[in-house]
Chain A
Amino acid sequence: SQQGEEDPQALSIQEGENATMNCSYKTSINNLQWYRQNSGRGLVHLILIRSNEREKHSGRLRVTLDTSKKSSSLLITASRAADTASYFCATDAGSRLTFGEGTQLTVNP
Protein backbone atom coordinates (compact mmCIF):
# COMPACT_ATOMS: atom_id res chain seq x y z
CA SER A 1 0.00 0.00 0.00
CA GLN A 2 1.02 3.61 -0.33
CA GLN A 3 3.44 5.11 2.16
CA GLY A 4 1.07 8.01 2.69
CA GLU A 5 -2.62 7.45 3.28
CA GLU A 6 -5.07 10.32 3.47
CA ASP A 7 -8.16 10.47 5.56
CA PRO A 8 -10.97 11.07 4.87
CA GLN A 9 -11.25 9.95 1.26
CA ALA A 10 -13.88 12.60 0.64
CA LEU A 11 -14.93 15.73 2.50
CA SER A 12 -17.79 18.09 1.74
CA ILE A 13 -18.14 21.42 3.56
CA GLN A 14 -19.73 24.83 3.19
CA GLU A 15 -17.85 27.88 2.07
CA GLY A 16 -16.28 29.64 5.02
CA GLU A 17 -15.80 26.48 7.07
CA ASN A 18 -12.43 24.95 7.83
CA ALA A 19 -11.30 21.73 6.16
CA THR A 20 -8.95 19.27 7.82
CA MET A 21 -7.29 16.39 6.03
CA ASN A 22 -5.02 13.83 7.59
CA CYS A 23 -2.14 11.77 6.30
CA SER A 24 -0.56 8.75 7.91
CA TYR A 25 2.64 7.06 6.82
CA LYS A 26 4.58 3.97 7.75
CA THR A 27 8.32 4.62 7.74
CA SER A 28 10.62 7.41 8.85
CA ILE A 29 10.68 10.40 6.56
CA ASN A 30 12.87 13.39 5.84
CA ASN A 31 10.00 15.60 4.84
CA LEU A 32 6.34 15.52 3.92
CA GLN A 33 4.73 17.54 1.19
CA TRP A 34 1.14 18.41 0.36
CA TYR A 35 -0.12 18.83 -3.18
CA ARG A 36 -3.36 19.92 -4.74
CA GLN A 37 -4.92 18.61 -7.94
CA ASN A 38 -7.82 20.16 -9.78
CA SER A 39 -9.84 17.62 -11.69
CA GLY A 40 -7.74 15.88 -14.34
CA ARG A 41 -4.87 18.37 -14.09
CA GLY A 42 -1.30 18.19 -12.86
CA LEU A 43 -0.52 18.38 -9.18
CA VAL A 44 0.55 21.67 -7.67
CA HIS A 45 2.86 21.88 -4.68
CA LEU A 46 1.31 23.54 -1.62
CA ILE A 47 3.67 23.21 1.29
CA LEU A 48 6.58 21.16 2.61
CA ILE A 49 7.28 20.35 6.23
CA ARG A 50 10.56 18.84 7.38
CA SER A 51 10.81 16.05 9.91
CA ASN A 52 12.24 18.41 12.54
CA GLU A 53 9.33 20.83 12.17
CA ARG A 54 6.01 20.48 13.96
CA GLU A 55 3.91 23.14 12.30
CA LYS A 56 4.04 25.34 9.24
CA HIS A 57 1.78 28.03 7.82
CA SER A 58 1.27 29.38 4.34
CA GLY A 59 -1.60 31.79 3.83
CA ARG A 60 -4.79 29.91 4.74
CA LEU A 61 -2.92 26.62 5.01
CA ARG A 62 -1.63 25.13 8.22
CA VAL A 63 0.28 21.87 8.25
CA THR A 64 1.25 19.89 11.30
CA LEU A 65 3.57 16.93 11.58
CA ASP A 66 3.74 14.39 14.40
CA THR A 67 6.63 12.07 13.71
CA SER A 68 5.92 9.98 16.80
CA LYS A 69 2.47 9.13 15.40
CA LYS A 70 3.71 9.17 11.80
CA SER A 71 0.94 11.53 10.80
CA SER A 72 0.36 14.94 9.32
CA SER A 73 -2.65 17.16 8.92
CA LEU A 74 -3.53 19.89 6.45
CA LEU A 75 -5.94 22.56 7.60
CA ILE A 76 -7.50 24.97 5.13
CA THR A 77 -9.16 27.85 6.93
CA ALA A 78 -12.08 29.91 5.66
CA SER A 79 -12.55 27.64 2.66
CA ARG A 80 -13.71 28.90 -0.71
CA ALA A 81 -15.45 27.17 -3.59
CA ALA A 82 -12.18 27.48 -5.51
CA ASP A 83 -10.52 25.19 -2.93
CA THR A 84 -12.53 22.29 -4.37
CA ALA A 85 -9.86 19.80 -5.46
CA SER A 86 -8.07 16.63 -4.46
CA TYR A 87 -5.31 16.94 -1.88
CA PHE A 88 -2.40 14.55 -1.63
CA CYS A 89 0.35 14.05 0.87
CA ALA A 90 3.72 12.80 -0.35
CA THR A 91 6.63 11.41 1.62
CA ASP A 92 10.17 10.76 0.53
CA ALA A 93 11.21 7.13 0.85
CA GLY A 94 14.78 6.54 -0.23
CA SER A 95 15.14 8.28 -3.57
CA ARG A 96 11.45 8.31 -4.39
CA LEU A 97 8.47 10.42 -3.49
CA THR A 98 5.43 8.33 -2.55
CA PHE A 99 1.94 9.74 -2.79
CA GLY A 100 -1.19 8.79 -0.95
CA GLU A 101 -4.55 8.25 -2.62
CA GLY A 102 -5.78 11.71 -1.83
CA THR A 103 -8.73 13.43 -0.19
CA GLN A 104 -11.41 14.86 -2.45
CA LEU A 105 -12.53 18.16 -0.97
CA THR A 106 -15.76 19.77 -2.13
CA VAL A 107 -16.54 23.27 -0.92
CA ASN A 108 -20.16 24.20 -1.53
CA PRO A 109 -20.96 27.86 -2.19
Chain B
Amino acid sequence: EAQVTQNPRYLITVTGKKLTVTCSQNMNHEYMSWYRQDPGLGLRQIYYSMNVEVTDKGDVPEGYKVSRKEKRNFPLILESPSPNQTSLYFCASSLGWRGAEQFFGPGTRLTVL
Protein backbone atom coordinates (compact mmCIF):
# COMPACT_ATOMS: atom_id res chain seq x y z
CA GLU B 1 0.00 0.00 0.00
CA ALA B 2 1.30 3.43 -0.99
CA GLN B 3 1.79 5.46 2.13
CA VAL B 4 3.78 7.88 4.22
CA THR B 5 4.60 6.63 7.69
CA GLN B 6 5.71 8.59 10.71
CA ASN B 7 7.06 7.46 14.04
CA PRO B 8 6.34 7.94 16.80
CA ARG B 9 2.69 8.96 16.54
CA TYR B 10 2.67 10.44 20.02
CA LEU B 11 5.56 11.70 22.08
CA ILE B 12 5.85 13.50 25.40
CA THR B 13 9.32 14.71 26.23
CA VAL B 14 11.12 17.30 28.31
CA THR B 15 12.89 20.49 27.34
CA GLY B 16 16.35 19.94 25.91
CA LYS B 17 16.15 16.21 25.27
CA LYS B 18 17.07 15.56 21.64
CA LEU B 19 14.52 13.68 19.60
CA THR B 20 13.98 12.47 16.07
CA VAL B 21 10.70 11.94 14.28
CA THR B 22 11.07 9.57 11.37
CA CYS B 23 9.25 9.81 8.06
CA SER B 24 9.31 7.24 5.31
CA GLN B 25 7.48 6.94 1.98
CA ASN B 26 7.26 3.94 -0.34
CA MET B 27 6.15 5.77 -3.50
CA ASN B 28 9.59 6.73 -4.85
CA HIS B 29 8.68 10.40 -4.41
CA GLU B 30 11.33 13.02 -4.94
CA TYR B 31 9.77 15.80 -2.91
CA MET B 32 9.30 15.55 0.85
CA SER B 33 8.45 18.11 3.47
CA TRP B 34 7.63 18.66 7.12
CA TYR B 35 4.79 20.79 8.45
CA ARG B 36 3.62 21.76 11.87
CA GLN B 37 -0.01 22.47 12.61
CA ASP B 38 -1.08 24.76 15.42
CA PRO B 39 -4.56 26.07 16.29
CA GLY B 40 -5.27 29.34 14.53
CA LEU B 41 -2.09 29.14 12.48
CA GLY B 42 -2.90 26.38 10.03
CA LEU B 43 -0.10 24.34 8.50
CA ARG B 44 3.32 25.90 8.29
CA GLN B 45 6.17 24.34 6.42
CA ILE B 46 9.32 23.64 8.42
CA TYR B 47 11.71 22.16 5.86
CA TYR B 48 11.45 20.57 2.46
CA SER B 49 13.61 18.44 0.22
CA MET B 50 13.44 18.31 -3.55
CA ASN B 51 15.69 15.28 -3.80
CA VAL B 52 18.38 13.28 -2.02
CA GLU B 53 20.92 15.53 -0.30
CA VAL B 54 18.89 18.64 -1.22
CA THR B 55 17.06 20.34 1.64
CA ASP B 56 15.83 23.87 2.20
CA LYS B 57 14.12 25.96 4.85
CA GLY B 58 10.42 26.51 4.90
CA ASP B 59 8.54 29.15 6.85
CA VAL B 60 9.45 28.10 10.39
CA PRO B 61 12.81 26.23 10.36
CA GLU B 62 14.22 27.55 13.66
CA GLY B 63 14.93 24.80 16.16
CA TYR B 64 14.69 21.98 13.62
CA LYS B 65 17.08 20.01 11.44
CA VAL B 66 16.45 17.54 8.65
CA SER B 67 18.48 15.22 6.48
CA ARG B 68 17.79 13.39 3.22
CA LYS B 69 20.37 10.67 2.80
CA GLU B 70 17.96 8.31 1.10
CA LYS B 71 15.05 9.02 -1.18
CA ARG B 72 12.49 7.30 1.03
CA ASN B 73 13.42 8.81 4.41
CA PHE B 74 13.24 12.36 5.70
CA PRO B 75 13.72 12.52 9.49
CA LEU B 76 12.97 15.63 11.51
CA ILE B 77 15.43 16.34 14.32
CA LEU B 78 14.85 18.55 17.33
CA GLU B 79 18.28 19.01 18.90
CA SER B 80 17.02 20.83 21.99
CA PRO B 81 13.22 20.83 22.08
CA SER B 82 11.40 23.67 23.80
CA PRO B 83 7.74 23.98 24.89
CA ASN B 84 6.93 26.21 21.89
CA GLN B 85 7.63 23.20 19.67
CA THR B 86 4.65 21.41 21.15
CA SER B 87 2.57 20.81 18.05
CA LEU B 88 1.11 18.34 15.58
CA TYR B 89 3.70 17.46 12.93
CA PHE B 90 3.05 16.11 9.46
CA CYS B 91 5.39 14.69 6.89
CA ALA B 92 4.32 14.80 3.25
CA SER B 93 5.69 13.61 -0.07
CA SER B 94 4.93 14.08 -3.73
CA LEU B 95 6.18 12.76 -7.04
CA GLY B 96 7.35 16.13 -8.24
CA TRP B 97 6.83 19.69 -7.20
CA ARG B 98 4.60 21.80 -9.41
CA GLY B 99 1.06 20.54 -9.61
CA ALA B 100 1.81 17.49 -7.55
CA GLU B 101 -0.59 15.98 -5.07
CA GLN B 102 0.89 15.86 -1.60
CA PHE B 103 0.56 12.61 0.33
CA PHE B 104 0.49 13.17 4.06
CA GLY B 105 1.54 10.95 6.91
CA PRO B 106 -0.79 10.35 9.87
CA GLY B 107 0.86 12.96 12.07
CA THR B 108 3.00 13.02 15.21
CA ARG B 109 1.62 14.76 18.25
CA LEU B 110 4.55 16.14 20.23
CA THR B 111 4.37 17.62 23.71
CA VAL B 112 7.45 19.26 25.18
CA LEU B 113 7.24 19.86 28.93
Contact = CB atoms under 8 A, between A and B. Distances in A.
A92 interface: yes
Given A100-B42, A102-B42, A45 B105 contact: no
A interface bracket (residues with beta carbon within 8 Å of B): 20 to 34
A45 B103 contact: yes
Interface string A33-45: 1010000111111
A31 B44 CA distance: 18
B58 A96 contact: yes
A50 B99 contact: yes
B26 to A, nearest CB: 15
B: contact size bracket:
20 to 34
A18 interface: no
B2 interface: no
A87 to B, nearest CB: 12
Nearest to B35: A99
Interface in B33-67: 33, 35, 40-45, 48, 50, 56, 58-59
Nearest to A90: B102
A92 B45 CA distance: 12
Nearest to A30: B98
B58 A31 contact: no
Contacts of A40: 88, 107, 109
Contact of B104 (A30, A43, A95, A101): A43
A98 interface: yes
Interface of A: 2, 30-31, 33, 35, 40-45, 48, 50, 88, 90, 92, 95-102
Interface of B: 4, 33, 35, 40-45, 48, 50, 56, 58-59, 88, 90, 92, 97-99, 101-107, 109
